[in-house]
Chain A
């Protein structure tokens, strides 16, 4: 069956999202054109929905995704895939701040770099970034994996509660309460399998695996000074 084409332009976003939903309900895949970096596109789509954006999108694209496959041709704005629980989102360019905020499951694949706070408060799922992740990425994440082949900016994995950050290159600096551990070969195999499932070859890198040092799990106010960054 042929794709359904939807033009964004200056039209109301609600109308566009309704059209995407109807197409998905009819089992048709959708290509969205003239996106003009507009916000809140393809929110809350379920299993079976397939949407491809030809250009750049604005904030919260693919947010609350619970099973759809969403592809963004160029860049995504703030919080792409926010709170997604299932499905797959691919960003072919740069993903702005807070990509994958609070995501619970599914997969977010960013081919370019990701901005600051990628995977902030993440609670499950995987984020694969072929480039670099920005300042404070993984901040206060609880579970899930962030894999960044190009390394990370300052304060990487700051205040991580749980989950893992895997880096294929050095971070500019690590955040507070982080701990770098030597990965098991089995774990490396799992990460390489994840990358292979994304069509990425086995990278020639020395993996750096960052986890929580777990000292903030038992925060004591008398220790507050140890955590102050300013």
Chain B
């Protein structure tokens, strides 16, 4: 089933807290895993890298290897990496690195050790935090409620197509496009074919999850010169299956919904400040009072909401 959500604030604020609320309200839609794509104050220089190490006891040597790989790519740690201090075998790491001369090449290089240390997001502003458990579990473990920022996405996963492991949960980063993330509710039936085409062009997918396709597919369309609204509309024609997905970058959150009109999406708020979610009762956690709610219930719909901070 899965539940998705997005939030845009007019001014930087408690984006983590709001997204945790939106996902906590939809915990019954999928409690296998929960994830967040958070957009904070963009770095003037360098990138924020989020990664997962699969073996906590080996973290120090994995970080050594990671450091030596990025050094070879002309990039270095700008701050000391910070790891979560939970008991789990896997460990989530936040790193800040210097400017990356060639991000596709850098990504390819760090993916050499992805079987033990996998990069989950790279961006000036984006941080993807995802783990096994409910919204409350993940929020407590990773301090998500404390995150400030302008906008973000959330996802509650009910796994249908691939394993319940932190890396196969949402949001997915559009490897290797900085600051692009998606969350998806549904199933893609032709993902394997579309992935194959993208892999032949050199893109790399890290999981067997059908949703991982979407972000890369849209970003590749945009790399070829398509505007985002057009790429979203095009996805309805080309991507087969049942889907409502949200895609975020530094400037906007957009959505597309398939022609079968199965997966709901509602939005409340104004263009400058919105909450969007699978279920209305989730956005009502943010907007307690009755107000105008827009239901995207029809078939084949898209929309893009701008993030005003970035446009200014």
The residues of A with any CB-CB pair to B shorter than 8 Å are: 36-39, 55-56, 58-59, 74-75, 77-78, 94, 96-97, 115-116, 134-136, 153-154
Contacts and interface: CB of A to CB of B under 8 A. Distances in A.
Contacts of B299: 116, 135, 154
**Which of B281, B283, B299 has its CB near the most chain A CB atoms (within 10 A)?**
B281
A56 B261 contact: no
Contacts of A116: 261, 297-299
Interface residues of B, number: 15
Contacts of A115: 295, 297-298
Interface string B90-104: 000000000000000
A37 B281 contact: yes
Dominant SS among interface residues on chain A: loop
A135 B300 CA distance: 11
Contacts of A58: 279-281
**Which of B264, B280, B298, B299 has its CB near the most chain A CB atoms (within 10 A)?**
B280
B297 A134 contact: yes
Given A97-B264, A116-B261, A37 B280 contact: yes
B288 interface: yes
A107 to B, nearest CB: 23
B60 interface: no
A136 B279 contact: no
A78 B278 CA distance: 11
Contacts of B298: 115-116, 134-135, 153
Contacts of B285: 36
A77 B288 contact: no
B290 A38 contact: no
B195 interface: no
Given A116-B298, A135-B299, A55 B261 contact: no
Nearest to A56: B290
B284 interface: yes
Nearest to B285: A36
A187 to B, nearest CB: 30
B293 interface: yes
Contacts of A154: 299
A127 to B, nearest CB: 16
B295 A94 contact: yes
A153 B261 CA distance: 12
A154 B299 CA distance: 9
B62 to A, nearest CB: 42
Contacts, number: 55
B281 A96 contact: no
Interface string B284-306: 11001010010101110000000
A101 to B, nearest CB: 14
A94 B295 CA distance: 9
A135 B257 CA distance: 14
20 contacts: A36-B281, A37-B279, A37-B284, A56-B290, A56-B293, A58-B279, A58-B280, A75-B280, A75-B295, A78-B264, A96-B264, A96-B280, A97-B297, A115-B297, A115-B298, A116-B298, A116-B299, A134-B261, A135-B299, A154-B299
Contacts of A74: 290
B51 to A, nearest CB: 36
Contacts of B295: 75, 94, 96, 115
Contacts of A75: 280, 293, 295
A183 to B, nearest CB: 28
Nearest to A74: B290
A138 to B, nearest CB: 15
A90 to B, nearest CB: 17
Of all A-B residue pairs in the complex, the 5 with the closest CB atoms, nearest first, are A115-B297, A37-B280, A37-B281, A36-B284, A58-B281
Contacts of A97: 261, 264, 297
Contacts of B281: 36-39, 58, 77
A163 B290 CA distance: 36
Contacts of B290: 55-56, 74
A78 B279 CA distance: 9
A38 B26 CA distance: 11
Contacts of A136: 261
B237 to A, nearest CB: 12
A38 B288 CA distance: 11
Contacts of B264: 78, 96-97
A56 B280 contact: yes
A227 B210 CA distance: 28
A16 to B, nearest CB: 13
A114 to B, nearest CB: 9
B297 A36 contact: no
A148 to B, nearest CB: 15
A96 B284 contact: no
A115 B264 CA distance: 10
